Amino acid sequence: MSGPSPPPDAAAIMELVHEAVGGLELEPAEKRDIWRFVQRELPYLWSQRTSYFILGSYRDPYIRRLRAVQNELTKQLGAYPFVMGDLLELPTDRLNTFDIMFSLLATYTDYIVGVFEKESGGEAPELGEIDDAPYFEKSYVFPRDYTWVSESNLASVQHVIQAAVEIAFTDELTDDERQTEMTSLVERARSTGIDITEQEVWDVVDEREREDNAPATYSWVHLNKFRKFELHGRCFPWTTEEELRTEVSELPSPTPRPAWEESEEP
């Protein structure tokens, strides 16, 4: 039985594959598996829909946040958000299949969306892949609890929430000291014009404590990569899943909009 036929741009695809495997000579069966993957998955990226390649940890509870992002993007007409773990997997045991799949998907997708909650796991090398050419310009990162260390530590509600979570999970503080710190934090924030109440801060803290979810910590390397995206307006920190869903709305939307949607007629 003959295998799948190579697509019209087979040369460009094979160049990407050879770069991913370091120029290794491919066996005939491996080529057939790659063409099968290409014919199965890449047409979705070549379609008129706007594609979003979502990166992050597949372990629970982190996968729930990836699904939250995917669900939010699915609400947009003309969007195709996907997680690599849901796609056809290359069956070969010899090749570094992740590098092949990542290279093809990242090259042909419209936007890359990285959700980060920790510094270890598969999402760590993915961050290293997207913070430079050829993927940087199309990539956006959503790091949980991220705040760049600067003098303006209370510049937004996000900064206040981040500081509150850190206070709540500081073991050295007594309950009374923790309450005093929270009150002082909110008062300082409100004095700078930030619209937030102490109850709103405690609501977030209570949710994190119920999840036994301490603040996310990142290495200096991670922080610098997030900062690079931040300086380019493509880093969106978040603390709660609700905030993550809200921040996802900042991603570029599918364009152009359909003609009937722009019409004023009923």
Are residue 189 and residue 222 in the same domain, yes or no?
no
Least confident segment among 142-146, 182-186, 208-212: 208-212
> What are the residues facing 55 on neighbouring strands?
114
* Residue 16: CB atoms within 10 Å: 14
Instruction: Report if residue 192 sits inside a domain.
Output: yes
pLDDT at residue 265, rounded to an integer: 46
pLDDT reading at 246 higher than 90: yes
Q: Are residues 137 and 51 in the same domain?
A: yes
Answer yes or no: do 163 and 220 share one domain.
no
Give the domain extent around 175: 157-210
Mean pLDDT along residues 225-241? 91
Q: For 1-5, 37-41, 133-137, 188-192, which range has the lowest pLDDT when averaged over its residues?
A: 1-5
Amino acid 169: pLDDT: 76
Whether 1 maps to a domain, the answer reads no
Instruction: For residues 22 and 92, state if they share a domain.
Output: yes
Q: pLDDT by residue (tens digit) across 147-184?
A: 775 445 566 777 787 778 777 777 777 888 888 888 88
Beta strand ranges found along 92-187 (DSSP E): 111-116, 139-143
Q: What is the pLDDT of residues 25-58, one digit of tens each?
A: 999 999 999 999 999 999 999 988 999 999 999 9
pLDDT band at 263 (very low <50, low <70, confident <90, very high): very low
In a domain, 265, yes or no: no
Q: How many Å apart are CA 96 and CA 99, to the nearest integer?
A: 6
Give the least confident one: 73-77, 114-118, 168-172, 219-223.
168-172
Report the side by side order of strands in the sheet with 50-55. 79-83, 50-55, 111-116, 139-143
Which residue, 192, 210, 228, sits at the end of a domain? Answer: 210
Tell me: do 116 and 75 sit in the same domain: yes
Residue-level pLDDT at 152: 52
What's the pLDDT at 108?
Answer: 95
> Per-residue pLDDT for 259 more than 60?
no
Report CA torsion sign: 11, 16, 22, 28.
Answer: negative
Instruction: Determine, yes or no, domain membership for 152.
Output: no
On whether both 34 and 99 belong to a single domain, the answer is yes
First to last CA, the chain: 54
**Position 133 in a domain:** yes
Residue at 19 is within a domain: yes
pLDDT of 257 over the 50 cut: no
pLDDT at 211 over 90: no
Tell whether 205 and 92 lie within a shared domain: no
- The answer to whether the CB of 53 falls within 8 A of the CB of 111 is yes
Q: Is the pLDDT of residue 193 over 90?
A: no
Strands (E), 60-183: 79-83, 111-116, 139-143
pLDDT of residue 168: 78
* 100, 189: one domain: no
- Please check the confidence at residue 220 and state whether its pLDDT lies above 80: no
CB atoms inside a 10 Å sphere around CB 171: 4
Q: pLDDT digit string (tens) for 127-136?
A: 989 999 999 9
**Range picked from 90-94, 204-208, 257-261 for highest mean pLDDT:** 90-94
Q: Which of residues 210, 225, 242 is at a domain's end?
A: 210
Answer with the residue of higher pLDDT: 265 or 196. Answer: 196
Give yes or no: residues 77 and 103 share one domain: yes
Q: Does one domain contain both 141 and 165? A: no
- Residues 52, 11, 26: CA angle, nearest 5 degrees: 95
Is the confidence at residue 1, as pLDDT, over 60?
A: no
Task: Give the model's pLDDT for residue 138.
Answer: 96
Domain annotation covers residue 5: no
In a domain, 49, yes or no: yes
Instruction: Give Cα 156 distance to the centre of its chain.
Output: 21
The DSSP bridge partners found for residue 143 are 116
Same structural domain for residues 45 and 116?
Answer: yes
Q: Give the number of domains in the chain.
A: 2
Q: 240: which strand partners?
A: none
CATH number at residue 92: 3.40.50.450
Question: What pLDDT does 260 receive?
Answer: 44
pLDDT value for 52: 97
15 and 99 housed in the same domain = yes
| Cβ(54)–Cβ(69) below 8 Å | yes
HSE value, Cβ hemisphere, 13 Å, CA-based, for 72 = 21
C-alpha span between 129 and 124 (Å, rounded): 9
